[in-house]
Amino acid sequence: MKKYSMKSIPHPIPYQGSKRKLAPVINSVMPRDIRCFYEPFAGSAAMTLFMAGNDAAERFVVGDKFPTLIKLWEMIVENPHHVIDEYAAIWKGFDGENHNYFNDVRERYNATQDPVALLYLVCRCVKNAVRFNAKGRFTQSADKRRKGMAPEKMAIAVEGASKLLKGRVEFRIGDWQVTSGDAETQDFVYMDPPYLGTSIGKDKRYHEQLDRDSLVSGLALLNTRDIRFALSYDGMTGDKEYGPALPEDLMMSRLLINAGQSSQATLNGLKAETVESLYLSSNLKTPAKTRLYLKDIHQEALFS
């Protein structure tokens, strides 16, 4: 199979916080004998797409508690031309004059949970930063400076993602411990749950939140099953930390990844660098360097 660079991986769902640009760094510390790759906090499925694009696992399990998101992924993979046509119809419905159009689509989505309407909202909302209220309604506003991903570009991304995943991916809706519950020792579980510091308040960035105690107990269970895993969880933006480090008795290695300029800080008119934590399970080898930088990862060396 053709090996894809970071920039050539198709990404139809542009979530803020996507691990797209960090995927090569994260992959560089993963084992090279993965049978099934699990991503139970799917979002944009950035890691799954990168792994599939580089033939780094035999098959994939993509899960999330957000049913509409998983239904969208199923449609992208199994019926890409329907997604392409429906997205184009919604996108072209905005004539540049009706400034309530985004809100109309948002109301339609909140009433029907239409997956393609959700795709349009994610593409057009401010900084692709989704927001939901306590009732699970999409509340983020439109970015008035742009129209969202053009249909022609979306068609390429959808067709590319479908080609990468069709025939070797299974989609699951539910809690992460359930959707990854059948993982075995030859498999790998990559988790990118909501950070503690970004998942509370009246305008949540995620459809449902994750209780920290539940995460810790689930990680302990993975340890008892000898499942290999990596977890993107906490970190800092400037001098603001997302939350305390996870318990030492989980025996995980903690790496720090310099992820560059924070998009959320930019959204707020500030400049700050983001440093993200990547935890590795105790049955994985800890790299010699525990501080990783994007500039140090070279695509051609990832699969040596």
The residue extents of the domains of the chain are 6-67+168-301, 74-154
Question: pTM score, two decimals?
Answer: 0.88
* Res 95: pLDDT: 86
- Written as tens digits, the pLDDT of the chain (304 aa) is 455 556 689 999 998 767 888 999 999 999 999 999 999 999 999 999 999 999 999 999 999 999 999 999 999 999 999 999 999 999 999 988 788 999 999 999 999 999 999 999 999 999 888 899 989 999 999 998 889 999 999 999 999 999 999 999 999 999 999 999 999 999 999 999 985 544 444 444 444 567 889 999 999 999 999 999 999 987 776 565 666 778 999 999 999 998 766 555 555 565 678 888 999 999 999 998 888 887 766 543 433 3
- Looking at residue 238, its pLDDT comes to 55
The answer to whether the beta carbons of residues 188 and 46 sit under 8 Å apart is: no
Q: How far is CA 248 from the centre of its chain?
A: 26
Look at residue 35 in the predicted model and tell me its pLDDT: 98
CATH topology identical between 6-67+168-301 and 74-154: no
What is the assigned CATH class of domain 6-67+168-301? alpha beta
What pLDDT, on the 0 to 100 scale, is given for residue 60?
A: 98
Exposure of 9 in the CB half-sphere (CA atoms within 13 A): 27
Q: What is the pLDDT of residue 212?
A: 87
Tell me what pLDDT residue 268 has: 58
- Which CATH architecture fits 74-154? Orthogonal Bundle (1.10)
